[in-house]
Structure 1
Amino acid sequence: MKPIHFLISSSLVVLLAACSQQESTQASGTLERDRISLISTASEIVVKSPVKEGSKVEKGQLLLQLDSKNQKAVLAKAKAELAQAQANLTKMLNGERAEDIDAAKANLANAKAKLTDAQKHYTRMSELVAKKLVSISERDNALAERDAAKATYDSAYQTWQKLTKGNRVEDIEVAQAQLAATKAEVVLQRHKLDELSIIATRNGILDSLPYHLGERVPEHAVVAIVQANTQPYARVYIPEPYKHKVHSGVTLTVHVDGIDEAMKGTVRWISVEPAFTPYRNMTEEDRSRLVYLTEIDLPDSANRLPAGIPLQVDLEGI
């Protein structure tokens, strides 16, 4: 008869060998669904939180409202600048008012009359100087008056020309560009205002709300996580000896904890790199311990199952 300790040791060896064989022919993982992380675009205070964690949500539903007073003021300023740019362009396209043109025309006629009178006075002074009836200084004064009158006339003429011909094409194009810029600014600021309302982008379950009512959230912080209501998939780690057999499109048998009937899943992706990167040369035995993250699409029968359930995938017979 063999000793009792020998029998116990033999039994342990057989049991360990069976466990090792089972582990080597199965890959472990969990059932997962897409998780949507919604991020804040500004550092503001949470003023409304209408949905509780764990609730079903629909696309477009408000999950969190951040304080919008500051952004509304920025938008109002952008709208005022848009109105100003629009008014400036309209003024340039319509030209000057008829009253301003008439006033400029009257000033031009007045300047022309004064220039004519000054020219006649200068001509008379020149004739009198030739006859030595007046001094040269009086003629020079008449010349200065004539030149001043001509300058006034030229100025009035240019003003009248500007009012009647309208604005330059270049000035109108500048005004149009300013109007386009202010319109774009209004669109941008309105978009930033809308982003302060955190809404669900897909149907699903509100998985997490990291911030509470009254808290100030940092900019670019995750403020809500939605578990998408889509077909679940298995996320498992395939051992290195089976990697050459597992590729996109391969069908595998999946066992979900608590579900008696096995499911057929289809591999949609397997990582090129192992779960960790070796930092030195590895032996064949070491390489066999590497695992590769893999995602497997599950059938419609898995739709009712929640995320996070452990599962195993059969690798024998691939």
Structure 2
Amino acid sequence: MLMVVVVFLISGCEQRRSNVALGTLERDRIAHTATINEVLVALPVAQGSMVEKGTILAKLDDTAQTAEVARAHADVAEAMANLDKLRNGAREEEVAAASAKVAGNRAALVDSQANYLRAEELAAQNLMSKANLSRALAKRDSDQAALDSAEEELRELTNGSRPEDIQMAEAHLDATKAALFSQQKKLQDLTIRATRNGILDNLPWNLGERVTMGSPLAIVMAGNAPYARVYVPEPYRVRISVGDELTMHVDGLEKTLTGKVRWISHEPAFTPYYALNQDERARLMFLAEIQLSNEHQNLASGIPVQVDLP
């Protein structure tokens, strides 16, 4: 009779263990990392506090990056001024100066042309050497070239900028604006803000330390309430779907809690080998996450939990 009772108790324990999923309470761990090597100048929120999305968690020294943003602003202003200059064309004073230069070169050409004609007549009468005639011709040609150059400069001013130059200036302005946006984003990243609601779980660095790029500055356990991460035995996997409500037991609490399945794996926790028999199939486990309601937000992460399976 005693053996029958022992066997019954053992079988009952095995049955109870087979229709439960074991795990722990968890929260999503959000690590806010440093984007640059800089000194930590502010930690406005105490470790362990509840934080909302957008709350400032830490600040890095932004002196150097502020200077980079100012330089990027100056580059944008220079590019805009250059583009406006090309679009507006030459000033009236520049056109007037170019016109006066053309008039002066034209007068010089008239004078040199007259001198060349006189020299040519004298040379025909053998009253001037060929060398002087050549110099008079060279002076006339030089004045003609100067006049052509001045007229082209005036035409360039009056015709305005080429479309290609304006397009290049517009492209340069777009590039400087993109560089400014990038520098502003780097400046914003020096102020670490919470990206989700949750609990500020850890601040690994002390105020005044120079943090290393890529290292976590603040770790937030996201979510108002934790979720249970449990392993569902293979025989019960087909009975559970996303959205199902399940009963769970949390260590330290007498009353049971209810949670909703928010995710369950479609593959077992380890890769099965070929031709599993019935006993081996029962050992397969499927990871599942069961979300608790917000009224349980005070429950800490890491507490063991047991979920009753249907």
The question of 1:223 aligning with 2:224 is answered no
The question of 1:187 aligning with 2:181 is answered yes
User: Which residue of the partner structure matches residue 68 of structure 1?
Assistant: 62
User: Which residue of the partner structure matches residue 243 of structure 1?
Assistant: 237
Contact 2:65 2:186 (8 Å CA) reproduced: yes
Contact 1:35 1:226 (8 Å CA) reproduced: yes
Deviations 1:7-53 (A, max 9, x none): 5x766544433321111011112233333322221222222222221
The question of 1:52 aligning with 2:46 is answered yes
Partners of 1:94 and 1:73 in 2: how far apart? Answer: 32
Cα distance change, pair 301–81 in 1 and its aligned pair in 2 (3 A): closer
Q: CA deviation at 1:93?
A: 2.6
Deviations 1:107-153 (A, max 9, x none): 21111011112222223333444455544444333222211110111
Contact 1:34 1:230 (8 Å CA) reproduced: no
Q: Which deviates more from structure 2 when the two are superposed, residues 129-138 or residues 105-114?
A: 129-138
Partners of 1:63 and 1:229 in 2: how far apart? Answer: 16
Partners of 2:148 and 2:71 in 1: how far apart? Answer: 43
Contact 1:50 1:62 (8 Å CA) reproduced: yes
Alignment of structure 1 residues 161-200 onto 2, 5 Å: 161-200=155-194
Alignment of structure 1 residues 14-29 onto 2, 5 Å: 14-29=8-23
State the identity %. 49
Deviations 1:222-276 (A, max 9, x none): 2212223434332211011211222223332222333333333332211122223
Deviations 1:283-305 (A, max 9, x none): 43223112111012334543443
Partners of 1:299 and 1:193 in 2: how far apart? Answer: 38
Contact 1:253 1:314 (8 Å CA) reproduced: yes
Contact 2:225 2:299 (8 Å CA) reproduced: no
The question of 1:140 aligning with 2:134 is answered yes
Cα distance change, pair 67–231 in 1 and its aligned pair in 2 (3 A): same
The question of 1:158 aligning with 2:158 is answered no
| Contiguous gaps of at least 5 residues in structure 2 | none
Partners of 2:39 and 2:297 in 1: how far apart? Answer: 37
Q: CA deviation at 1:190?
A: 1.0
User: Which residue of the partner structure matches residue 307 of structure 1?
Assistant: 301
Partners of 2:293 and 2:58 in 1: how far apart? Answer: 34
Contact 1:263 1:299 (8 Å CA) reproduced: no
Partners of 1:36 and 1:13 in 2: how far apart? Answer: 48
Partners of 1:172 and 1:178 in 2: how far apart? Answer: 10
Q: Which deviates more from structure 2 when the two are superposed, residues 304-313 or residues 156-165?
A: 304-313
Aligned residues: 310
Q: Calculate the TM-score normalised by the size of structure 2.
A: 0.88
Query: Stretches of 4+ moved more than 6 A in 1?
Result: none
The question of 1:114 aligning with 2:108 is answered yes
User: Which residue of the partner structure matches residue 255 of structure 1?
Assistant: 249
Partners of 1:14 and 1:20 in 2: how far apart? Answer: 10
Partners of 1:70 and 1:13 in 2: how far apart? Answer: 75
Partners of 1:39 and 1:137 in 2: how far apart? Answer: 84
Cα distance change, pair 195–54 in 1 and its aligned pair in 2 (3 A): same
Partners of 1:134 and 1:218 in 2: how far apart? Answer: 88
Alignment of structure 1 residues 25-44 onto 2, 5 Å: 25-44=19-38
Partners of 2:273 and 2:65 in 1: how far apart? Answer: 50
| Contiguous gaps of at least 5 residues in structure 1 | none
Structure 1 vs Structure 2 CA RMSD: 2.5
Q: Calculate the TM-score normalised by the size of structure 1.
A: 0.86
Contact 2:224 2:294 (8 Å CA) reproduced: no
Partners of 2:57 and 2:212 in 1: how far apart? Answer: 17
Partners of 2:249 and 2:73 in 1: how far apart? Answer: 60
